[in-house]
Amino acid sequence: MTATTTPPGGPRTLRRVLLPLALAQFICSFAGSNMNVMINDMSRDLDTSVHGIQTAITLFLLVMAALMIPGGKLSDRYGRVRLFRLGLIVYGVGAVLSAAAPGLGVLILGNSILEGVGTAMLIPPVYILGTLYFTDLTSRARAFGAISALGGIGAAAGPLIGGLITSAISWRAAFVFQALVIVVIVVLSRGLDDPLPPEPDRPFDTVGAVLSAAGLVLLVTGILAASRNLWLTLGLILAGALVLALFFRSVRDKERRGAEPLLSTALFRERTSNLGLVTQNVQWLMLLGTSFTVAAYLQVVRGYDAIQTGVIFTAATAGLLASSLGAERFAKRRAQRTLIIAGFVVTIVGVVVLVAIVGATSSPWAFAPGLLLVGFGLGAMLTPSVNVVQSSFGEDLQGEISGLSRSVSNLGSSLGTAIAGTILEAGLSKGAYAAAMITLAGIGLLGLLAAVRLPRTQRVARSE
């Protein structure tokens, strides 16, 4: 099978390809946010603190970000479908181990490490296969719309689903739920065929993989340490920047020698893709940062339990679902740049509303308007941002750009949780909630600036 022989968007393709890919993105995004409503239950059961649970959440997101680029490269070497299935197995083992965790250490091993590694293996193939199977812009918008929609819904509905499961059974059952979904995806993936053959002799840049992962880990760890030791924070961030500089130097040296680096420098010479990557990073930073901040505030300050917190988040889920399901229709009527700009404007307004209204009333429903706007805005721009980046390169670079794209997005998720958590440690009852939300809105303005600088592109052509 080749990328051009599968009928784009046909029923058979939608059933055999899109469903397992979209479900995979859903469960990985769900894992990044569902623990937010379990903070009190998990910290009490595992005899740890809120900071301990935040560390586990951030490490999960960080492991994904650090290993996503190598994951994209390995998919070319060993095959996209094969790596996808292996990632599912690793993830499933991590979910089962997390469900049985007796303490924070085992939880970090199962959730942060194994689930993180599994996600880094299976997510790059999701976007590579989506690009290869759906070759025209209309069908690709439909495919990425479904994948991004389920990814966004997984992140937005994670608190609700996690809260329901935690209240009805326990937080451990939420990890059992993840394992069961993985089993379903494994069964569905039996119908997947790799559009391109693997390249087992293709070299792998081990030094580059280690340097890129280490640099990202040091950077986010530095942010996590900000509330505890300022000098340690500066040292870790500086060390992270130095290691990443060594990584890019290693990439240039390999290309000069004619060797294949972990990432081609061609990826960074495409202005449109670079701006698209910035928008992706900020989108996920705002989504996970807002989710963590609001969930922590509701539980720690308002004293809400998991189910109450989850129900409040249905507003964000509804907004994201509404805009994501309209992704294909929006793409036919408006340029992708316009959708991304509008998405940032609506999201930033939503964050401002969350600060203004919540501070003026004690009603739990005061969170609904802001969360609805945040969800709708993010859902409107997730798909066009992915499409802008993935469509900037041909098949030969899909493995690399997919890994880079997912790494940048997951780095945004980990930074959002780390930044929000660091600010919240200053004291939720002392204005830290407003400070965290205002910080997220400020970062959103940077994403809006990047979106405005995107070139004006044609809207997706209407399908006959």
Residue spans per domain, the chain: 11-204+262-452
Of the listed ranges 102-116, 203-217, 224-238, the one predicted with least confidence: 224-238
Query: What's the rounded Cα separation, in Å, for the pair 400 and 72?
Result: 6
- Spell out a b/e string for 254-292, using b for 16 or more CB atoms within 10 Å of the CB, else e: beeeeeebbbbeebeebebbebbbbbbbbbbbbbbbbbb
Q: What pLDDT score was predicted for residue 10?
A: 52
Query: What's the rounded Cα separation, in Å, for the pair 217 and 428?
Result: 27
Tell me the two tokens of residue 211: 């340097």
263 in Cβ contact with 208 (< 8 Å)? yes
| pLDDT grade for 363, boundaries at 50, 70 and 90 | confident
444 in Cβ contact with 347 (< 8 Å)? yes
Question: What average pLDDT does this structure show over 436-456?
Answer: 91
Which tops the pLDDT comparison, 453 or 390? 453
Query: What's the rounded Cα separation, in Å, for the pair 272 and 371?
Result: 30
Q: What pLDDT score was predicted for residue 153?
A: 77
pTM of the model: 0.73
pLDDT tens figures, 261-282: 877 787 788 888 889 999 989 9
Query: What's the rounded Cα separation, in Å, for the pair 327 and 149?
Result: 9
CA dihedral 331, 333, 339, 342 (to 10 degrees): -150
Of the listed ranges 51-60, 115-124, 399-408, the one predicted with least confidence: 399-408
Based on the number of CB atoms within 10 Å of its own CB, is 365 exposed (0-12), middle (13-18) or buried (19 or more)? exposed
Q: The tokens 């679902």 sit on which residue? A: 321
21 in Cβ contact with 147 (< 8 Å)? yes
Q: Which long-range contacts (CB under 8 A, 24 or more apart) does 364-370 make?
A: 364/298, 364/302, 364/304, 364/308, 364/312, 365/312, 367/294, 367/298, 367/312, 367/315, 368/312, 368/315, 369/315
231 in Cβ contact with 280 (< 8 Å)? no
Contacts of 175 (CB under 8 A, 6+ apart): 95, 96, 98, 99, 110, 111
Query: What's the rounded Cα separation, in Å, for the pair 130 and 142?
Result: 10
The CATH number of the structural domain formed by 11-204+262-452 is 1.20.1250.20
Distances (CA, A) of 433 to 99, 167, 282, 295: 30, 25, 19, 11
